[in-house]
Amino acid sequence: MSAIAGLSWWRFYFRFFDGAVKSEQVVEFLAALKRQIARKLLVIWDGAAIHRSRIVRSWLERQAGQVVVAALPPYAPELNPVEAIWAYLKKHEIVNFCAKDIGDVSDFARRRLKSMQRRPTLVRAFWKQAELAF
């Protein structure tokens, strides 16, 4: 099981996938974000190879400037506010959770993330924790 997330000023979005997140899942997630937000998107992400794949680059080119990408510096997770989502989930929401199986983990994590989405102060804290200058 893998997860992918995106963070706007007012909320965050996430999806779970079986196995590793591949180029197709990145495109699927970006397309869903584009439909849900319905305005121009600036995607700021790290330099992971999956973000630079031919499939992702090709999809981005077809978006005609409606989805623009900016890369964070290499090895700078402290600048990525999405990393704060995962850290908070692990340290506060699912700490000490004893799962029966991976499906149990997925269900519980999904419920906790949905709960986190409804907390605007938490979303602001994710941005504040990232060492980005605005």
Confirm whether 110 is domain-assigned.
Answer: yes
Write the CATH number for 91. Answer: 3.30.420.10
Show the tokens assigned to 84.
């704060």
Instruction: Report residue 134's pLDDT band, with 50, 70 and 90 as the boundaries.
Output: low
Q: Domain for residue 134, yes or no?
A: no
What domain range is 11 assigned to? 2-129
| Element (DSSP H or E) covering residue 17 | strand 12-17
Q: Which residue has the tokens 């699912």?
A: 94
26 domain-assigned? yes
Number of helices followed by number of strands (H, E) in the chain: 5, 4
Q: What is the pLDDT of residues 38-51, one digit of tens each?
A: 999 999 998 889 99
Number of domains in the chain: 1
Instruction: List CB contacts of 92: < 8 A, sequence separation 6 or more.
Output: none
pLDDT in tens, 77-117: 899 999 999 999 999 999 999 999 989 999 999 999 999 99
